[in-house]
Chain A
Amino acid sequence: MQLFLQRVFDGLNNGAAYAVVAIALVLIFKATTLINFAQANMAMFGTYLTWMLATQQGFPIWGAIFAAMLLTAAGGAVIERVLIRPFDPTNHLPVVLITLGLSLILEAIAGWKWGLEFHRFPSPFPAKPTDFISIGGARLRYETVGTLVTMFVMLGVLYLILNRTKVGLAFRAVSSNTESSRLVGVKVGPTLMFGWALAAAFGTLGGTLVARQTNLEPAFMAKLVIFAFAAATLGGLDSIGGAVIGAFIVAMIQSLLVGYAQQIPGLQWMKSNYALVIAFVVILVVLLFKPAGLYGTKRIERV
């Protein structure tokens, strides 16, 4: 029981982090029906900015996180305007090229500026070895609680932005029907820029939430983003709530399966390094049987 609870808590921690990144992916998919393959490295870059502000400029950690979120939001808006908007979103190849290329460029710059070695990331939450609540003998760390709370606060903020502000209304209009919203006078371009800015900022937040556990290096988000992809596909690429639920399902599968694999005959090889395989299988199976995901809207093609 204690072990089970411990694994669930670990799963919650990962799930919250996956959810934040998956939401960033979903925001961009909703707005532009594109998958941003540079999301991981945009978040990585934002996390490095946070680290630099916190450790070299003496910002308090949360101040550094907000400053980096603002900076990456600006960066996201610029990327949308300069690199994404010139292309037709229904033609997939150029966008794949642009986002993959951007991803390589960001990784190269980070490796050049900050080095390829691991950096220790300051924790945004109390993270001393004694900082945990004991539930049934299992340790629920303050970090886990903090990550979960941050994620839910973020969801709340996102809900308020999308449902209580004018730009949020415009965003929902554009994601539901771009042409019609343009006809009724919604400024589509700035709205998409806003969506990318929001996604970039959330990606940065997601990066800072996991950087403490994974340590900071130029490829640290690339390992995580596959889980976020899996979460977003599982939930449905255009559903924010689905992304959150998908993230927790993926994280729980990962945590429990890896945890119990040693006892399951034929699965002894499943150690945490190979958890990516789980993500891959999840993506494959979900897309095979429910191509739109659990909560996604089915797309009907008209001839």
Chain B
Amino acid sequence: MTDEQREQKKAYLREWYAKNRERQIAAVGAWQRDNRERANANKRAYVERDPERRREQANRHAAKPEVRAKVAARPERKEWQKARNKRDAEMLSDGFVRRIMAQHTSMKGSDLPQGLVDAYRELMKLKRAINEKRG
């Protein structure tokens, strides 16, 4: 295939997508709903393949005016998230402890062995008690 033919094909596909965009998105959505497990596996594989790109996409999405407006229209969700974070910190939930432990490392919280997380939770409890006693 020559460069010119490649360009022609690209242009044709772009045009086709512009015409069929809605139908295509609906078809993919329907397939994802019908094949939830495979769709989730595909999504996970995509994130693992290129986490940086996924993060950029998420940031771009969050920066869209309509998304920001949607978030702003639901302040109770933000409050709920704040309350949940506070509760997690107070209760030393697994996710919270793992997140703290994984800070400044190349690991994710989920990479840490449970025994180590439990020991760190105990240590955090002890440190809190020490600070409380010291006032």
Q: Do A and B come from one complex?
A: no
Chain A interfacial positions (CB closer than 8 Å to B): none
Interface residues, chain B, CB within 8 Å of chain A?
none
